[in-house]
Amino acid sequence: MNSTIYLKVKPSCTLYQPKVYLKDIAEVWCSDSKSCAKVCQLSLGSVSDTKIFSVLELIGAVEKEFPNATIETLGATDVVVTYEKDSSIKKFDYLKAIFACVLSFIGAAFAIMTFNYDGNISEIFKTLTMILTGTKPQGLSVMEISYMIGLPVGILVFFNHFSKLKESKDPTPIEVQMKLYNDNLYQTMAEKKEEK
């Protein structure tokens, strides 16, 4: 085969079987569909936990089978492959997620309450109501009720997680931070491999 093989390498992938094929970690394209199918089925060995494959290893595996082919790579220079023995989510993972949600909720509620107490929000609202209406408020004022409704609504709109309320298809701030974290994680793992 004298054609060009294009490999678009993914930065990471999770597998649920230990054997790693080229199609698992890269998109493959070449003009000959039969050769393309063979390239996709190239075995790169197996993984027991986490392994980093260099793009040079991928090129070597393809050249071994197709010595006359030209190989062009796109995308990542290293691939972090993670093997998970069981694809089903365990009950303990659900409990950990529920615990993290409850803990986050309590922490956020505590932070908002301490902010309101430090800023003396209730007195500020009473003073503003008295200035604007000329009467001393009894119980909850309209401003306090608006604040209680507006605070959670503002948080929900800011994090942009509800598809019907979404103004755009842009990623949320949390999704952006998770992407940056994953990119930094994969880059650090690849750099550690190069140091060895």
Q: Which domains does the chain carry?
A: 4-83 (2.60.480.10), 91-195 (no CATH)
* Local confidence band at 87 (pLDDT 50, 70, 90 cut-offs): low
pLDDT at 177: 92
Share above pLDDT 70 across residues of the chain, in percent, rounded to a whole number: 92
pLDDT at 160 over 70: no
Q: What is the mean pLDDT of the chain?
A: 85
pLDDT at 164: 63
Q: Using alpha carbons only, what angle is made at residue 184 by residues 178 and 189, rounded to the nearest 5 degrees?
A: 125
Mean pLDDT within 15-26 = 91
Task: Sort residue 75 into left (φ over 0), alpha (ψ -120 to 50) or beta.
Answer: left
Task: Please state, in angstroms and rounded to a whole number, the distance separating the CA atoms of residues 84 and 51.
Answer: 12
Radius of gyration of the chain (CA): 27
Mean pLDDT within 59-78 = 89
pTM of the model: 0.59
